[in-house]
Amino acid sequence: MNFADSYRQSITDPQTYWANEAKLIDWHAPFSTVLDDSNPPFTKWFVGGKTNLCHNAVDRWVATQGDQPALIAVSSETEDGQLHEKIYTFAELQAEIERTAAIMLSLGVAKGDRVLIYMPMIAEAIFAMLACARIGAIHSVVFGGFASNSLATRIDDAKPALIVSADAGSRNGKAIAYKPLLDEAIKLARHKPAHVLLVDRRLVPMTMIAGRDADYAALRRQYIDAQVPITWLDSNDTSYILYTSGTTGKPKGVQRDVGGYAVALASSMKHIFCGKPGETYFATSDIGWVVGHSYIVYGPLIAGMATVMYEGLPIRPDAGVWWSIVEKYKVTRMFSAPTAVRVLKKQPPEYMKKHDTSSLKALYLAGEPLDETTSQWIASALGVPIIDNYWQTETGWPILSIAKGIEDKPTRLGSPGVPMAGYKVKILNESTGAVCGANEKGVVVLEGPLPPGCMQTIYGDDDRFVKTYWSNFSNEQVYSTFDWGIRDADGYYFILGRTDDVINVAGHRLGTREIEESISSHPNVSEVAVVGIEDKMKGQVAVAFVIPKNADAAATPESRRALEAEVMAIVDKQLGAVARPSRVHFVTLLPKTRSGKLLRRSIQAICEGRDPGDLTTIEDPMSLEQIRAALAG
Ligand code: PRX
């Protein structure tokens, strides 16, 4: 079947299409209904079916390829910067997961309980995720780069019975203590987890809290021979929650099911990523982000592939580190982000040439717009196709791409491609809701029902799910991606950035409102506006404009520098360095409408040297002059 026919069937007859795809995974009990969309926008896939993500990712493969690599954990965060590698076969991975699952059960974790995972990129993090999946606990991984306040908000929302963490992460050979941040977060949070399970890497000393904190190594020894059977789950049970940023300061808990997610990943691994059992997959993301969930952990393993988990920078010990991994483990499919490629592009080319990357068949890039120069550079350096793919935490797998596993349809520079199976993509005019013509800019929306694998709801808040995503157009109920886009005459889509206050820094999705709230907690900050501005390397960076309470505090260049450093430090402490603005400017006025709404798009336009747009509602035009002056100064 060619791609057009296959896609058409997924839209006109989703029952048949997805029932076929569902054969790619193991079911403990068959489903009775493929799709239940009787209560839109809530969608249930494979109703009545029973399955398990851990079974499909690991146990299923033990019988046929138990002695083959499943998890290849590589770290360059070592004292000498040289690579440290540990390989777990499918059988070994299963044993580790059973140990971790037994520990969790011994700590009272039951089906449906939440387990928050705040971990660096070490194998134990994957054991913990899969152990949750095995016993039906709901994991919520929080990115290790986040700090106390970010963690506390998530603890209060997810109310975990257990938190799994470690003494420290490491960046460029320098230990970054996690435990004090975690202790502080638990202190800040209203909800107190009964237990904290800690992996001691012996990077920094840890103070254990008696009665609450448990040592992973000691418990692992105790449960070394544990056997923990799979808990068969309903297809629509919840597998995990992953928090992501939006327009408000409160992160949204994207909630995912079990059966639909497993099928979507198996299907995308076959048709988009073309993965085969026995091959090796390498995604350079982090388990704290959705790419890590779908394409470091679940996707490759469900496809029977070995997956590489890499802790470290792309340039340590040198800029050839990723290619040395490709060479050594004969990686066939690799997934990364444009920012990482731009970092490598600045390095001398010999690092790439030093390694034999001939096993590699394609490089997949996602998370931010892929510019043509970056795409062409890496394509010619590697000599493989570069496959852009566009999606979101909310969807869990690509909305737009090129399904090379079905048909070798050409890619188009600057475009992530065409809609993947089950996604009914439309571009709507922001104000009228009318469908845009070819090459006309509008909001990218998806018509319901969304395909398997997409979010079920916002954890604990169905109303917010409907209001946030499905209520942006009065004429029809569609899912808004909050991205601008266009569709060309041939049906290829182009993504033109966010319509809301979300920014994308080096592929990391951040909410400007969260950063503003953090900055506002500084005692000398009266008002603040944070916008994302274009950056050649990182795609975007955050820039803050602050009105100080006491103007004297920003009267001289020295005092401004000192206050800027304080503001940055408060963001580091509360949210994590990943959210730190690249610059903090001081003004006495911020551009607002007469009704008091911040004119963020105008601020952003001025920062990027563009026309600030319609200013008929502005309260005081002098405020824009202040932004210009602050940038010039
Ligand atoms: O703005 C789009 C951008 O990243 C957002 C989703 O980020 P996140 O939830 O972290 O999920 C990333 C999954 C890959 C989108 O709303 N984005 C993602 N992929 C692309 C992209 N923008 C342009 N091109 C892409 N390929």
- Dump pLDDT digits (tens) for 589-626: 999 988 888 999 899 999 999 998 888 889 998 999 99
Model pLDDT, residue 35:
98
Model pLDDT, residue 80:
84
The Å distance, Cα 555 to ligand 1 centre, comes to 40
Q: Are 144 and 116 in contact (CB under 8 A)?
A: no
Model pLDDT, residue 129:
99
* Pocket test residue of 454, 483, 496, 501 for ligand 1, highest count of atoms within 8 A of CB: 483
Model pLDDT, residue 586:
96
Tokens of 157: 């929302």
Whether residue 509 is found in the same domain as residue 521: yes
With a 6 A CB cut-off, is 399 part of the ligand 1 pocket? no
Within-domain flag for 623: yes
**Residue that terminates a domain, selected from 459, 477, 498:** 498
Within-domain flag for 37: no
With a 6 A CB cut-off, is 483 part of the ligand 1 pocket? yes
**Residue that terminates a domain, selected from 498, 516, 542:** 498
Closest CA to 307 of 73, 25, 53, 26: 73
Within-domain flag for 70: no
What's the rounded Cα separation, in Å, for the pair 8 and 4? 6
Q: The domain containing residue 432 runs over which residues? A: 424-498
* Pocket test residue of 504, 510, 512 for ligand 1, highest count of atoms within 8 A of CB: 504
Within-domain flag for 576: yes
Model pLDDT, residue 247:
79
- Say what percent of the chain tops pLDDT 70: 100
With a 6 A CB cut-off, is 395 part of the ligand 1 pocket? no
CA-closest residue to ligand 1 atom 14: 367
**Residue that terminates a domain, selected from 463, 498, 533:** 498
Within-domain flag for 122: no
What value does the mean pLDDT take over residues 566-574? 96
Within-domain flag for 510: yes
Q: Give the DSSP H/E element, type plus range, for residue 8.
A: helix 3-12
With a 6 A CB cut-off, is 374 part of the ligand 1 pocket? no
Within-domain flag for 434: yes
pLDDT tens figures, 80-103: 889 999 999 999 999 999 999 999
Whether residue 511 is found in the same domain as residue 480: no
With a 6 A CB cut-off, is 294 part of the ligand 1 pocket? no
Whether residue 523 is found in the same domain as residue 556: yes
The Å distance, Cα 247 to ligand 1 centre, comes to 15
Sign, CA dihedral 480-481-487-491, equals negative
pLDDT at 166 over 90: yes
Model pLDDT, residue 13:
98
Whether residue 542 is found in the same domain as residue 449: no
What value does the mean pLDDT take over residues 394-419? 97
The Å distance, Cα 508 to ligand 1 centre, comes to 9
CA-closest residue to ligand 1 atom 15: 392
With a 6 A CB cut-off, is 290 part of the ligand 1 pocket? yes
What value does the mean pLDDT take over residues 480-495? 97
Whether residue 554 is found in the same domain as residue 598: yes
With a 6 A CB cut-off, is 367 part of the ligand 1 pocket? yes
Tokens of 445: 């929306």
With a 6 A CB cut-off, is 392 part of the ligand 1 pocket? yes
Which of 233-242, 549-558, 602-611 is predicted most confidently?
Answer: 233-242
Model pLDDT, residue 608:
94
- Say what percent of the chain tops pLDDT 90: 92
With a 6 A CB cut-off, is 479 part of the ligand 1 pocket? no
pLDDT at 268 over 90: yes
With a 6 A CB cut-off, is 444 part of the ligand 1 pocket? no
What value does the mean pLDDT take over residues 338-359? 91
The Å distance, Cα 200 to ligand 1 centre, comes to 34
pLDDT at 249 over 80: no
Q: pLDDT-based confidence at 442, cuts 50/70/90?
A: very high
Domain count within the chain: 2
Q: Are 181 and 206 in contact (CB under 8 A)?
A: no
The Å distance, Cα 179 to ligand 1 centre, comes to 31
With a 6 A CB cut-off, is 366 part of the ligand 1 pocket? yes
pLDDT tens figures, 34-72: 999 999 999 999 999 999 999 999 999 999 999 999 999
* Pocket test residue of 390, 415, 538 for ligand 1, highest count of atoms within 8 A of CB: 390
Model pLDDT, residue 615:
83
Residue 613's SS3 state is: coil
CATH number of the domain bearing residue 461: 2.30.38.10
Query: Is the backbone of residue 136 left (phi > 0), alpha (psi -120 to 50) or beta?
Result: left
Model pLDDT, residue 187:
98
Model pLDDT, residue 590:
95
Within-domain flag for 367: no
* Pocket test residue of 296, 339, 368 for ligand 1, highest count of atoms within 8 A of CB: 368
CATH number of the domain bearing residue 611: 3.30.300.30
Q: pTM score, two decimals?
A: 0.95
Give alpha helix (H) positions in 473-556: 512-520
pLDDT at 489 over 90: yes
Model pLDDT, residue 596:
85
Whether residue 486 is found in the same domain as residue 530: no
Residue 16's SS3 state is: helix
Whether residue 474 is found in the same domain as residue 515: no
CA distances from 495 to 247, 255, 378, 447 (A): 19, 25, 20, 18
Whether residue 474 is found in the same domain as residue 529: no
pLDDT at 346 over 80: yes
- Residue 498 alpha carbon, nearest atom of ligand 1: 1
Whether residue 571 is found in the same domain as residue 619: yes
What's the rounded Cα separation, in Å, for the pair 625 and 633? 12
CA distances from 453 to 115, 231, 433 (A): 21, 20, 27
Q: Are 129 and 135 in contact (CB under 8 A)?
A: no
CA-closest residue to ligand 1 atom 26: 390
Whether residue 541 is found in the same domain as residue 438: no
Q: pLDDT-based confidence at 562, cuts 50/70/90?
A: very high
Whether residue 566 is found in the same domain as residue 445: no
Whether residue 507 is found in the same domain as residue 601: yes
Q: Give the DSSP H/E element, type plus range, for residue 132.
A: helix 123-135
Q: pLDDT-based confidence at 202, cuts 50/70/90?
A: very high
What is the residue-averaged pLDDT of the chain?
96
Eight-class DSSP state of 58: I
pLDDT at 112 over 80: yes
